[in-house]
Amino acid sequence: MSFLRKSIAKYFRPPQTHDVTELAKKPDVDSEIEKALWELKDLMGLDTEEIENSIYSMRISKQRRDSK
């Protein structure tokens, strides 16, 4: 019975979230994220357009953040 309770509690536990705003302020993190996106494209067979849109979106949001 305790196994069932633990399983149910684990299933309904809220997801963990992490604050990455401090990482976003570092310039070398952007290049690492971009590199990881291109690697995921190759591994998962994603379209080039999807990766380019993600990188563009990331750069635009960084510019907005920096202009504040």
Where in the chain are the domains?
16-67
Q: What is the pLDDT of residues 8-62, one digit of tens each?
A: 777 787 777 767 667 666 767 778 888 988 998 899 888 899 889 988 888 888 7
Could you give the angle at which helices 48-67 and 27-44 cross, rounded to 10 degrees?
160
- Token pair, residue 2, equals 């305790």
| Contact call for residues 62 and 21 (beta carbons, < 8 A) | no
Q: What integer pLDDT is reported at residue 11 of this predicted model?
A: 78
In order of 1, 12, 68, the CA distances from 54 in angstroms are 46, 31, 22
